[in-house]
Amino acid sequence: MIYQFEILRNLTFVEKKTFRLHFLHSILEGVILGLLALNEYIFIRSMKGSEFLLSILFTTTVFVLIFSVFSHEFLKRYKNKRKLLIYTAFVTRLPLLLLIFYPADPGTIANNIWYHYIFLLIFFLFYSFQPVVLPLINLFLKANYSNENFGKLYGLSTMGNKIVMLVITFLFGLLLDFDLTAFRYIYPFMGILGIISFYILSKIRVDTSIIEFERKSLLQVIRDSFLNSWSVLKSNRAFLNFQIAFMLYGFSFMITNVLVTIFYDQVLHLNYSSTAFYKNFYNTVAILTLPYFGNLIGKMKIQRFASMTFIFMFFYILFTALSEYIDKGWVLFDIRIVLMLIIAGISYGLFASTMSLLWSIGSAYFCSPDEAASYQAVHLTLTGIRGCIAPFAGVFIYKNFGFTVAFIIAMLLLVAGIIQTQFTKSG
């Protein structure tokens, strides 16, 4: 870990300035992610939302990524990309202020489905920042970090992000056990913090000059967006192989993600403090291992790195499923500690550490710096496509066949993803 911080002494002036802004942005986003870590559990436990609506809530977090295929063409033509970040911040994060008007009585919220619908709409708007901001982050960082330092500096920022996330998740869990509707006043604060975070990110300087593009209709832009995305996948075989493996993993992850929330509530009956404990536990593992993996991602083939990441996810699902049958554990300070979930947490922590790097910057390893936004846009769009199907599929399988069958299917998808990364030649 000390070695990771040593690299800060040898950075160029541009890299140092970029890293300061990126790191501060990551810290503020860590606060936001710490609060969001319990969001789905809030919906099903405090608001008593249905499992179907919970699937929609999960879907909204990734459905908006489909629009990355269109937003990329827009981003290429939008000259002032830094100002675009500010506009995006206000549109996506100000709606959180509406939660101030939610009643303090959880029963009132649970019995009025309109509160559930509004909650879903607010978070659909919240996550709609991703098709714009995520490709721009890759563009800004790729333009200012050298290839040698890219993974290392991103890893350090992510480590700081997760440390803050850990603390905030723990405190928010305690607050929610005390007040089930604490999200009413915490989430509006999160919205203001999000605007500040994007403003800081917009201070990273990057050459956003563009050539004059031919004027096109909306339909022409949509058509060209699909053609450009297909061209990227068709012309870069290595990137196509990477995305096929990611598609298999992604279905597994999204099926599991929605099921674990229901599993914690209906099978293990965990309170907020216990849920926060497990989220913090795996984040602690991720924090401790991020410096190592941030250095490793630049030294090994990205396909092998992906395979290792999927293996970590496989063991997380396996030990989570086993906790239903092997419930050996104990209670400490109102926190239910289950041995199988501890092992699952270690696996998920290693997964979270590697995936935070792989998902965010993995596509950048297949292209030149000026193509980083294009490749990330394709990556995000494919994420959105599987996000429209997987959460509902997960609930359908669980409803008809139970948790165990659903977890087994998720693990088989991961095995297929691992095979894809190992045996498919990259062109």
Task: Note whether 200 and 25 are within 8 A (CB).
Answer: yes
Per-residue model confidence as pLDDT tens digits over 122-168 = 988 888 877 777 777 777 777 777 767 777 777 788 778 878 888 89
Residue 412 pLDDT > 90, yes or no?
yes
Q: Which two tokens stand for residue 170?
A: 């723990």
Residue 424 pLDDT > 80, yes or no?
no
Of the chain, the percentage scoring pLDDT greater than 90 comes to 17
* Band (39; pLDDT cuts 50, 70, 90): confident
Mean of pLDDT values over 203-224: 61
End-to-end CA distance of the chain: 35
Amino acid at 417: G
**Coil, strand, or helix at residue 330?**
strand
Hunting for tokens 């599993």 — which residue is that? Answer: 263
Is 427 buried (19+), middle (13-18) or exposed (0-12) by CB count in 10 A?
exposed
Task: Note whether 152 and 104 are within 8 A (CB).
Answer: no
Q: Could you give the CA distance from residue 167 to residue 338 in angstroms, rounded to a whole number? A: 21
* Band (1; pLDDT cuts 50, 70, 90): very low
What's the confidence (pLDDT) of residue 188? Answer: 93
In 3D, which of 372, 329, 348 has the Cα closest to residue 162? Answer: 348
Tell me how many degrees the CA angle 359-208-17 measures, rounded to the nearest 5: 70
Q: At what angle do helices 390-401 and 372-387 cross, to 10 degrees?
A: 30
Residue 314 pLDDT > 90, yes or no?
yes
